[in-house]
Homo-oligomer: A and B are copies of this chain.
Amino acid sequence: MSRKSKEEIAEIYRQMQDHICQSLEKADGNGKFREDAWDRAEGGGGRTRIFESGAIIEKGGVAFSAVHGPTPEKILQKLGLEKADFFATGVSIVLHPFSPMVPIIHMNIRYFEMENGVNWFGGGIDLTPHYVVPEDAKYFHQEVKKVCDEFDSEYYPKFKKWADDYFFIRHRNETRGVGGIFYDRLSGKTDEEFQQILDFSLSIGRLFPEVYGYFMEKNSKIPFGEQEKAWQNLRRGRYVEFNLVWDAGTKFGLDTNGRTESILMSMPPQAEWTYMHEPKHGSPEAFTLEHLKKEMDWLTFVP
């Protein structure tokens, strides 16, 4: 078995974008993706797809890109790499639902390769409910673990911890949501291992519309009022804070002259900030804050 080329991987990821967009349009029932194709001056380009007029999804994007050229100096420095041209391809998704009862979701699968032979996969999927609901968090982690376990029983515990550490709003001492998995610089010694990691990323890609379709269907039926909308907007503010202050991908993209509108498609449609907001003791909002913590074991959680 020979190793897939970077062009083949890009084509597989491009098809993954198609698959995910079709699935989300079907699950939403009303919205459609609008495509923006763009070119990168230094090489490559992408197609950013933005969801519009959704019944369930208020704002969201599913982006594919495959870019190449001289590796930016900042990336070489940051990652401790020797100078060589790079190629990077991936699918990146953030969806903000209308309903505060439906969680925000993020997924990313990516492949990076340099002309000198350096290469790795990275990615992750994590859930950011406006209201933490233990059964939902459990369901999400169960499904993610199932996919991980098909490949390596060490993946889930390792990548779950990595997500806890990565999706952490340090200045709030809060996790962004209930976590999920995050992995980076994963490569294989043999062609078989390389293929296995690619397959793992594709399984995460296929899991995405299934698991989010489940929440779209189930949670969009839950009634809510103005109080829940107000809370949603505060949580969206936290999402903005995480992405602009701590998210390595966002910071790096903005710092290296990436395509701003594609990078910031992760921003919510609206967000709010209230000075020193404190939810009422015993409220679902307070419960949420109390459970946005690292090292929550959602698989076995008992309230």
Taking Cβ atoms with an 8 Å cutoff, the residues of A that contact B are 36, 50, 59, 61, 170-172, 233, 237, 240-241, 244-245, 251, 254, 257-258, 260-261, 263-265, 267-276
For the complex formed, measure the closest distance between the CB of A1 and the CB atoms of chain B, giving whole angstroms. 41
For the complex formed, measure the closest distance between the CB of A41 and the CB atoms of chain B, giving whole angstroms. 14
**A171-B244 contact, Cβ under 8 Å, with A269-B272, A273-B269, A274-B269:** no
Contact between B36 and A260, CB atoms less than 8 A apart: no
Residues of B near A268 (CB, < 8 A) are 273
For the complex formed, measure the closest distance between the CB of A274 and the CB atoms of chain B, giving whole angstroms. 7
Contact between A260 and B50, CB atoms less than 8 A apart: no
Measured in the bound complex, the distance between the Cα atoms of B267 and A244 in whole Å is 13
Contact between A237 and B267, CB atoms less than 8 A apart: yes
Considering the complex, give the chain B residue whose CB is closest to the CB of A51: B275
For the complex formed, measure the closest distance between the CB of A20 and the CB atoms of chain B, giving whole angstroms. 18
Contact between A261 and B240, CB atoms less than 8 A apart: no
Contact between B245 and A261, CB atoms less than 8 A apart: no
Residues of B near A263 (CB, < 8 A) are 171
Considering the complex, give the chain B residue whose CB is closest to the CB of A233: B270
For the complex formed, measure the closest distance between the CB of A233 and the CB atoms of chain B, giving whole angstroms. 7
**A260-B171 contact, Cβ under 8 Å, with A241-B244, A276-B36:** yes
Contact between B237 and A170, CB atoms less than 8 A apart: no
**A245-B254 contact, Cβ under 8 Å, with A261-B275, A271-B270:** yes
CB < 8 Å neighbour of A240 from B59, B240, B260, B265: B240
For the complex formed, measure the closest distance between the CB of A109 and the CB atoms of chain B, giving whole angstroms. 22
Considering the complex, give the chain B residue whose CB is closest to the CB of A277: B261
Instruction: Write 29 A-B pairs (CB below 8 A) sorted by A numbering.
Output: A50-B275, A50-B276, A59-B273, A59-B275, A170-B254, A171-B258, A171-B260, A172-B260, A233-B270, A237-B267, A240-B240, A240-B244, A240-B271, A241-B244, A241-B264, A244-B244, A244-B245, A245-B245, A245-B251, A245-B254, A267-B273, A269-B272, A269-B273, A269-B274, A270-B271, A270-B272, A270-B273, A271-B271, A271-B272
